[in-house]
Copies of this chain bind each other. A is one copy, B any other.
Amino acid sequence: MPPSYLRGVRFLRQHAMLITTILIATIISSPLLAQTDQLLSWNDTATKKAIIEFVGRVTKEGSPDFVKPEDRFATFDNDGTLWVEQPIYTQVTFAIDEVVAMAPQHPEWRETEPFKSILAHDRAAMERFSIQDFEKVVAVTHSGMSVQQFQEIVKKWLAEAKHPRFKRPYTECVYQPMLELMQYLRTNGFKTYIVTGGGQEFVRAFAGPTYGVPPEQVVGSMGKVKYEYDKEGRPELIKLPDVLLIDDKTGKPEGINMVIGRRPNGAFGNSTGDQQMLEYTGAGDGARLMMLVHHDDAKREYAYGAESKIGTFSDALMAEAKKKGWIVISMKDDWKTIFPSAVR
């Protein structure tokens, strides 16, 4: 009998009361008890059943599809999958607001496009902005400060800004059923990652409190940074206006490989930008779950698809989903509620 066993028994005898207390606390807070109740905002449709069935196969020891807890990974797109992306990506709204906030320090912007149109609140002109125009806007609003400073700016903006239609903070324009799905997967041993075309540092600024996803589990489009020293000689990483990775389409599997280095077991998206992530996930062995949120609920949120510039869900993607067995989530039919209640 190894000495560690003896020590264990002795420890057990000496701390019986403490152990009982810990045990009761553990049992009471045990996620096991709540497991079947976790998808409360999902209607009892085939979609919900598919989620529960997948998790059952992957977590059942002895099952041919069993995956060890440390190997369970799920990746989630952000815009349109976890939070609202209409009428315009939240990060673009942020950038536009930042241009307005920075304008007093840049009198030249009054005469220079694309800033001139932004400062004139010329929506028609802004809708015609080219990729290059957006790059200029992102460059001035997303570089020149340290990573920490940038995240503080984002947090401050998110604390004040409100969605134009829902009149609530953007971080509350998140989908309650998806929050429950992430939590349900985590309860079942999955690590949940965000894999977004949005900026990695932008999403890291709110992913913790909003989604329960820590910074190291946010993969996003990445800009270059420069290692510098501030006035006090403290090192910091300064954001540069150069792109390192566009984490969209084929960039999603690339970003997943850089940061995770594994093929996810489950992947969740809503647009053509997520197709390669779902393909890459589905190409692995064993049980896999690929899902696409379909925005078909104009009443409670928005209805858009193939014709939308933002969050395009093309007919080709719908055909691919059918062919590959990817599950299309109908917001209208599968979701009991869309947003969290005001008090969380």
Contact = CB atoms under 8 A, between A and B. Distances in A.
A209 interface: no
B279 A235 contact: yes
Identical copies in the complex: 2
Nearest to A6: B28
Contact of A12 (B27, B200, B222): B27
B215 A227 contact: no
A303 to B, nearest CB: 31
B8 A235 contact: no
Contact of A261 (B9, B204, B260): B204
Contacts of A236: 283
A23 interface: yes
A276 B236 CA distance: 10
A169 interface: no
B259 A237 contact: no
A276 B235 contact: yes
A17 interface: no
Interface in A252-267: 253-254, 257-262
A257 B4 contact: no
Nearest to A207: B261
Given A11-B30, A225-B254, A237-B253, 6 more contacts: A8-B28, A8-B30, A216-B260, A227-B253, A236-B283, A244-B258
23 contacts: A5-B28, A8-B27, A8-B28, A11-B33, A12-B23, A12-B27, A70-B214, A191-B216, A200-B261, A204-B261, A215-B261, A216-B260, A225-B254, A226-B250, A227-B254, A227-B276, A227-B280, A235-B253, A235-B276, A235-B283, A237-B253, A258-B258, A258-B259
